[in-house]
Chain A
Amino acid sequence: MTFSTTLLLFFGGIVTGTIGAMLGLGGGVFLIPFLVMVLGLPMHQAIATSILAVIATSSAGAVMNLERGMVNIRLGMLLETTTVAGAMFGGITANYLSGETLRQIFAGLLFVVSALMFWKTRQAPREHSADEGLLRGGYTDDATQQAVRYGVRRIPVIMGVSLVAGNISGLLGIGGGIFKVPAMTLLGGMPMKAATATSNFMIGVTAAASAFIYFVNGHMNPMIAAPTALGVLCGSFLGIRIGQKIKSGALTLFFAVFLLIVAIQFVFR
Chain B
Amino acid sequence: MTEQPTSSRPLLSVELLTSRALRTGVWGSVTLFIAGLIGTWWFPFATSGPRLLYAGVVLLIGTPFLRVLLAIVGFSMERDWTFVIVSLVVFLMLLGELIYALIFL
Binding site for B on A (CB under 8 A): 3, 6, 52, 55-56, 59-60, 62-63, 66-69, 71, 73-74, 77-78, 80-81, 84-85, 88, 91-92, 95, 128, 130-131, 138, 140-141, 144-150, 204-205, 207-213, 215-217, 220, 222-223, 225-227, 229-230, 233
Contacts and interface: CB of A to CB of B under 8 A. Distances in A.
B61 to A, nearest CB: 5
Interface residues on B, range: 35 or more
Nearest 5 pairs between A and B by C-beta? A222-B53, A208-B64, A66-B19, A216-B101, A226-B33
B103 to A, nearest CB: 10
A69 B15 contact: yes
B5 A128 contact: no
A152 B22 CA distance: 26
A204 B1 contact: no
A230 B101 contact: no
B61 A52 contact: yes
Interface string B1-31: 1111111110110110011001101100110
Given A6-B41, A223-B53, A230-B30, A77 B87 contact: yes
A220 B5 contact: no
9 contacts: A6-B41, A63-B23, A69-B8, A88-B96, A149-B2, A205-B68, A215-B58, A216-B102, A222-B56
Contacts of B102: 216
A215 B57 contact: yes
Nearest to A60: B26
Nearest to A151: B1
Query: Which residue among A77, A145, A220 has the maximum number of chain B CB atoms within 10 Å of its CB?
Result: A77
Interface centre among A6, A80, A88, A128 (most CB of B within 10 A): A80
B56 A59 contact: no
A66 B94 contact: no
A140 B11 CA distance: 12
A229 B19 contact: no
Contact of B50 (A78, A210, A222): A222
B93 A88 contact: yes
Contact of B3 (A147, A207, A210): A147
Query: Which of A84, A91, A130 is most buried by chain B, counting CB atoms within 10 A of its CB?
Result: A84
Contacts of B62: 208
B97 A67 contact: no
A237 B87 CA distance: 29
Nearest to B19: A66
A211 B29 CA distance: 15
Given A59-B63, A204-B63, A148 B1 contact: yes
A213 B61 CA distance: 11
A209 B93 contact: yes
A150 B1 contact: yes
Contact of B83 (A77, A148, A207, A211): A77
A147 B86 CA distance: 28
Nearest to B56: A226
A68 B93 CA distance: 29
Contacts of B89: 81
B81 interface: no
B37 A226 contact: yes
